Structures are given as structure tokens and as C-alpha cells.
Amino acid sequence: MILEARFLAPEGWETASFTNPDTNHKLHYGFVSPPDPKAVVVCLSGLSEFSEKYFEVAHDMLNRNYAFWIMDWQYQGRSNRLGAVPQRRHSDGFETDVSDLLKFVGYIVKTNGRPLIMLGHSMGGNIGLRFLAQHPDVFSCAAFSAPFLGIFSLSMFSKILLRILTPIMPFIKTRYVFGSTDWREAARKSDGSDIFTCDPVRDRVHNYWSKKEDVLQVGGPTFGWIRHALKSCALLSRRQVLESIQIPVLIATAGKEMIVDNQAIRAAAAHIPHAQLLEIKGARHEIFMECDEYRDVFFKAFDKMVEDNKITDRG
């Protein structure tokens, strides 16, 4: 398979890494910028994703004259992994990811006075919303694709599952959840017929990079990740947390969602004061990787949010 130019690194793409002393996480990141950007976009990827998967989004942002920055979360991408079992997607707590993001934005991302825009997908939406609640004066606006605020069809059992997992967590926290394994190409059909996207071309991008660069491969989540994920979803169900987010926020749900809980997303959006809920009928979970028919709906709404709130006039 040969990728089209839109899925390859844009001209001027740079990478580096840094260590957050507060979490001891060593984190990889990439960035690209036009000569005089109108704004700076910080992209927050989903579970088991990596910077390379977002090259097309980087091109999209450059076409808008925005700089683009993205960091690989701990335990995925080119960031540090879990010792002798590097493919297990573990977590030290989503609060550590919020800390990593704060260090990234505060010490690594170069804004030169331009407004910051948050763009997140799935798990990145969960971490992003927590960040916005804790650090209200950093970003000018945010847009999320299918934010992970609950597990599809399991949200009603999350409290029970947490109670079951908590006492046995010391013994199982770094083990794969039942049914999970190291990375397998067959886990994604990569033909537009799976739960991720209906676009057969974009659907191949994840496996293309995973096969090309072994270091990018990630297996399933650990019990530790599940526990911290459920705790973070519970935190983001609290009305007072959501009401503290005061910037404009675009939240998109996928009509054919089978990974995250759309009802939890709707409930959260109702309590964020300046949130716009965008329901994209027909789309599947990975809206940024969807067919243009659905993907364009999101980015048109994204552009309108930026324009209506005069975000790029603030630089």
C-alpha cells in the first residue's frame, strides 16, 4: 500500500521529546507551522493512536494557516511504554495525562501570542475536558470528535465494575483485560466495513503505520487503564466540573457509534455552558478518519465556531 501525500508528514514537520518531571513520563511530540499562523492547534489523539495518524489533520490545519502540535500519550505512539510488555496500553491515571498536557502546552508548544485551539478525539476528548475544567485560561476554544465519556452499552454498569476491580487491582493492573492481546493487523478490517469509519482509504492508515513502524503498535488496554478510564468518566459526569468549562466547545457524536457512549456525551454537553452538540448521522467513531460526507460536517462546524467567536482575532 502506498499512502497519498495527504497522509504523509507535511513539509517542515519536526519531532522531539521531553520528560515531565511531575509524572516521569517521557513523551514524543510532533509539530508544524506556517510562517505566520493565525492560531495554534493542539491535537489530542485517541486510545492507542499516534501522531502519524493525524498527518492529514495537520495538512488541514496548515491550509487554514494554523500551526499544529500533537503529543503521543504515555504508553502509546513513540512515548514511553510499559517495561517488558510495551504493547499493553496501561495508565497511571488520567490526571497524569492532564499533567503531561499542561507541561506540553506550557513549556513546549510555541504560541508567540496566538490563540490556542484544542482539537481532540475519543480518549483525547476525556483528557481535554478535564484539562479545560482545571485550567480555564489556557485555550480559547475546543472541538471534540466522539469524546470518551462512557463505554458503549456499558456505562450503566461502570460503578459496579469499578467496585469489583478496586480490591483486586494490585494483582491485575498491568494485565490485559479479557480478550485483549498484543497488536494484531486483523483487529481492524481496514476496508471501511468496521466500527471505526466507512472510508476504505482512511481506514487503512492506522494499520499502514503500525506495520511500517513496529514501535507504533499497541495492543489492548490493561485492567489498570479500564479502572482509570471509568474513574475519569465518572468525574466528567459531575455537573460542577462541566459547568466550570467556560470557553466555546464543539462536541460531535457519531450516529453509528459503537465504541463510546453517546448518551453520556449528550448529558455532558448539556451542562457545558457554551457547548454546541453536533450529531453526525451515518458517521462511525473516528470522525476525523471518516468519509468526506461526514468529516466535512465536523470541520465546517469547527470553522464556524472559530469564526463566530472571533478566535483568530485574539492573536
pLDDT at 189: 93
Q: How many domains does the chain have?
A: 1
| Domain housing 118 | 5-310
Structural domain contains residue 315: no
- Identify residue 44 by its one-letter amino acid code: L
pLDDT at 199: 98
Parts of the chain with a pLDDT under 70: 154-158, 315
**How confident is the model over 265-303, as pLDDT tens digits?**
999 999 999 999 999 999 999 999 999 999 999 999 999
pLDDT at 154: 67
**Strand, helix or coil at 303?**
helix
pLDDT at 139: 98
pLDDT at 288: 98
Q: How far apart are CA 208 and CA 219, in angstroms?
A: 15
pLDDT at 164: 81
Structural domain contains residue 276: yes
Q: How far apart are CA 129 and CA 59, in angstroms?
A: 25
Structural domain contains residue 194: yes
**How confident is the model over 158-197, as pLDDT tens digits?**
677 778 878 888 889 999 998 999 999 999 999 999 999 9
Which residues make Cβ contacts (< 8 Å) with residue 103, sequence separation at least 6?
Answer: 18, 20, 22
CATH classification at residue 128: 3.40.50.1820
**Strand, helix or coil at 114?**
coil
**How confident is the model over 50-60, as pLDDT tens digits?**
999 999 999 99
Structural domain contains residue 53: yes
Burial of 68 by CB count in 10 Å (0-12 exposed, 13-18 middle, 19+ buried)? buried
